[in-house]
Amino acid sequence: MTTWKRAGLGALVGTMLALPLAVVLYAGRLAWGLPFPPFDLFDWLARALPGALVTAGIDGLVTTLRIVGLSTADVAKTAEQLLALVIFLVGAAVLGGLVTTVWRRPPGRREYVLTGATALLFTVAFVTVDAAVGGLQPGPAPAILWLLVAGAAWASALGWAINRLSAPARSATVDGGPPSASVEVVNRRSFLLRLGGASALVTVAGAALALRIREESGVAPDTGPRWSSRNPLPNAGADVEPARGTRPEFTPIEDHYQIDINTSPPRIDGASWRLRVGGLVSSPMELSLPELKRLPALHQFVTLACISNPIGGSLISTTRWTGVPVRDVLDAAGLHPEGTHVRIRAADGFHEVVARELFEEDERVMLTYAWDGVPLPAKHGFPLRIYIPDRYGMKQPKWIESVEVLDRWEEGYWVQRSWDRQARMRATSVIDTIGMDMMVVDADSSTRIPVGGIAHAGARGISSVEVRVDDGPWEPARLRTPLSDRTWVIWRYDWPFQEGEHTLTVRCTDGAGQRQVEERSPVRPDGATGLHRLETML
Ligand SMILES: Nc1nc2c(c(=O)[nH]1)N[C@H]1C(S)=C(S)[C@@H](COP(=O)(O)O)O[C@H]1N2
Ligand SMILES: [Mo]
C-alpha cells in the first residue's frame, strides 16, 4: 500500500471510530453535564481565533442559511453544532491518518507508545479546552476521567483497527502459495464493512439514548403559565389590525431568536447561583435569585435585535421582560462616587461595561430574570441577563455572574473584536407580507391588497412608515399602537392594486424625526442599513 492510501485508510477508520464516540460523549453531556469535546473545541476556537475571522465565519453561516432559504433564527445553532461535529471528525481523520502512516507491523513497543501518546494527546487537548470554556463540569475529577477514558478508548480502537488492516491476508490462496494482493483487498474490505456496521450501530444506539435523555431532561421544571396566556396584550384594543401574514407582534419564547458564543448554553444551577456585586461599592453583596425577586420588579415589552441581523432578517424578536433596575441593586451596595462604569461578567466569559450615567438616569437598564412571566430559558440566559434600551444584543450579557463597579471604561467582548462601541440600534423597517390572496374590494369597486410588517428604532419609537410601489411616491402606512416604545411597531398599508409585477419598498422615521438610513451598509461594524424590498408574486 502506498503511504497516501494508508493515510486515507487511517483517516476513514479514525472518523468511523470518532462518530460513535461523539454520540456516546453527547449522551454523557446530556445525562451528567460532562464535557463534550466537539462543542468545547468549537467554542474555544470561537473565542481564541481573531475576531475578524470569527465574524467572517458567522457572516458566511448567516449568508449560507439565507441562500438555502433557512431562517437564521431557527437553524443557526443547529448548523453551528453540526459544524462543531464536522470539525471534531476532521480532527479525528487527520490524527487517524497520521498514526496509520507511521504504524509498523508486527506492533512493538513503538506502536504501544504511539497508541498511548494518541490517547494522552486527546485527553490533554480536551481537558485544556474544556477547562477554558466549560470549567471542567461537573467537577475536575469526573471530567478528566471521562476524557481520559474517551481518549484511551478511541486511541486503542484505532490502534487495533489499523493493525488489523495492515495485517497480511490470513487465508491461503488457491495453490497454497503466499496470499495474493487480491485476497488482502477482500479481507480489508470486509473488515472495513464490519467496522462501519459496528460504528453505525453504536452511533444509532447512542443517538437514541441521547434523544431519550434529552426528552426526559426537556421536561421543564414547573414554571407556571406564561404571562401572555393569562393577560391581554396592552394594545389589545388598537384600531389598526395587522395585515394577515405579518409576523406575531409578541414572539412566543420558543421562537425568540438566539445568538451567543456557545454551541450549547452554559448550565447554571439556580439554587446555588449568586449574583456577585463588587468593585467600587461600600458593601459587596451576593444576591440569590429569590433575593433579587423580592426587590420591586419592573416589566417592559422589549424588542431585542442582533447587530448581525441583515435588513429583513430574523434575528429580532419581542417579548415581556421582568427584572430589577441595575441602579436599585447598586444603590443597595453603596456605589462609590469614583465609580464610573460597571462591568458585567457572564458564565461563558462574555462581558460588557455599562456607563454609570446610563443606568443611573434610566431605570429601564434592568437585570432581567423572567421572560413572559416565567424564568429565563437556559438558552436565553438563565438565571439573569441585562436589558439596555436602544442597544443591540451584543451589549447585553446573558448568564450574568457578577456586576463590578470600575473607575474606567473597558472594551466589551465584541468591542474587543472590532464591533461598534455604542452598538445603538438602527432604525429599520421590513415588509412581512403582500397579501395578494387577500384582495379587498372597496365600496367604490377599487381593489386593495393588505401589505404589512414591522418598523423598529431601538427605544426611540417610530413616528411614521412609508411604502413605495416601484419608483412611485412614498405613501404613508398606518401604525398600530405598539406594545411599548421599546418594541417594534406593526404597520399596515392597503395598497390600491395595480396589475403586473411590482416591487414594494418600505422606510420609517424614528420618534425624534430621524429618517431610517437608506444607503446600504453591511452589519459590520455597527448594524445594517438600507431599505427592505419585496416583489409581488402572482
Ligand atoms: N453571556 C453571553 N451573553 C450574550 C451573548 C453571548 O454570546 N454570551 N450574545 C449577545 C448577543 S450578540 C445577542 S444578539 C443577544 C441575544 O440574546 P438571545 O439569544 O436571548 O436572543 O445576547 C447577547 N448576550
Ligand atoms: Mo448579536
What are the tens digits of pLDDT across the range 46-78? 999 998 888 888 888 888 888 888 877 778 888
Grid coordinates belonging to 152: 484511551
Residue 180 is predicted with a pLDDT of: 67
Q: Which of 251, 273, 396 to mutate to test the pocket of ligand 1 (most atoms within 8 A of CB)?
A: 396
Instruction: List, for residues 87-109, the tens digit of each pLDDT value.
Output: 999 999 999 999 999 999 899 99
Residue 264 has pLDDT above 70, yes or no: yes
Residue 166 has pLDDT above 90, yes or no: no
Angle between helix 37-48 and helix 72-102 axes, rounded to 10 deg: 100
Secondary structure class of 387 (helix, strand, coil) = strand
Mean pLDDT of 504-509: 98
| CA gap 395, 387 in Å, rounded | 9
**Chain-wide mean pLDDT for the chain?**
93
Q: Which of 398, 414, 415, 524 to mutate to test the pocket of ligand 1 (most atoms within 8 A of CB)?
A: 398
CA-based nearest residue to 320, from 333, 302, 346, 308: 302
Residue 506 β-bridge partners: 467, 532
Per-residue three-class SS string for 150-176: HHHHHHHHHHHHHHHHCCCCCCCCCCC
Q: Within a 13 Å sphere around the CA of 113, how many CA atoms are in the beta-carbon half? A: 5
Grid coordinates belonging to 127: 481537558
Secondary structure class of 276 (helix, strand, coil) = strand
Residue 411 is predicted with a pLDDT of: 97
Ligand 2 centre distance from Cα of residue 314 (Å): 12
CA 11: distance to chain centroid? 30
**What is the enclosing helix (H) or strand (E) of 43?**
helix 37-48
Query: 243 to each of 111, 212, 249, 461, how far by Cα in Å?
Result: 70, 41, 11, 21
Residue 414 is predicted with a pLDDT of: 95
DSSP annotation string for 183-239:
HHHHHHHHHHHHHHHHHHHHHHHHHHHHHHHHHHHTS-------GGGTS--TTTT-S
CA-based nearest residue to 267, from 521, 527, 35, 516: 35
Question: At 215, which amino acid appears?
Answer: E
Residue 219 is predicted with a pLDDT of: 52
Residue 169 is predicted with a pLDDT of: 57
Mean pLDDT of 306-330: 96
Q: Within a 13 Å sphere around the CA of 406, how many CA atoms are in the beta-carbon half? A: 16
Residue 508 is predicted with a pLDDT of: 98
Residue 438 is predicted with a pLDDT of: 80
Mean pLDDT of 167-188: 66
Can you tell me which atom of ligand 1 is nearest the CA of 392? 14
Label residue 214 by pLDDT band (50, 70, 90): confident
- For residue 351, give the ligand nearest its CA: 1
Mean pLDDT of 203-222: 80
Residue 538 is predicted with a pLDDT of: 64
Mean pLDDT of 338-344: 98
* Pocket-forming residues, ligand 1, beta carbon under 6 Å: 256-261, 304, 306, 346, 348, 350, 380, 393-394, 396-399
Cβ–Cβ < 8 Å for 88, 37: yes
Place of cell 463597579: 405
Residue 182 is predicted with a pLDDT of: 74
CB atoms within 10 A of CB 165: 22
Q: 279-283, 289-293, 432-436 — which is least confidently predicted? A: 432-436
Ligand 1 centre distance from Cα of residue 259 (Å): 5
Residue 172 has pLDDT above 70, yes or no: no
- For residue 523, give the ligand nearest its CA: 2
Ligand 2 centre distance from Cα of residue 393 (Å): 5
Cβ–Cβ < 8 Å for 253, 229: no
Residue 170 is predicted with a pLDDT of: 57
- For residue 62, give the ligand nearest its CA: 2
- For residue 257, give the ligand nearest its CA: 1
| CA gap 346, 292 in Å, rounded | 17
Ligand 2 centre distance from Cα of residue 110 (Å): 50
Residue 345 is predicted with a pLDDT of: 98
Cβ–Cβ < 8 Å for 358, 341: no
Residue 537 has pLDDT above 90, yes or no: no
Percent of the chain with pLDDT over 70: 96
Ligand 2 centre distance from Cα of residue 259 (Å): 6
Mean pLDDT of 184-193: 87
Instruction: List, for residues 382-415, the tens digit of each pLDDT value.
Output: 999 999 999 999 999 999 999 999 999 999 999 9
| CA gap 247, 431 in Å, rounded | 10
**What is the enclosing helix (H) or strand (E) of 20?**
helix 3-32
CA-based nearest residue to 507, from 456, 460, 458, 459: 456
Residue 516 is predicted with a pLDDT of: 98
Q: Which of 259, 314, 376 to mutate to test the pocket of ligand 1 (most atoms within 8 A of CB)?
A: 259
Residue 70 is predicted with a pLDDT of: 81
Q: What is the pTM of this model?
A: 0.90
Residue 1 is predicted with a pLDDT of: 77
Ligand 1 centre distance from Cα of residue 394 (Å): 6
Ligand 2 centre distance from Cα of residue 533 (Å): 23
Label residue 174 by pLDDT band (50, 70, 90): low
Residue 479 β-bridge partners: 491
Mean pLDDT of 337-352: 97
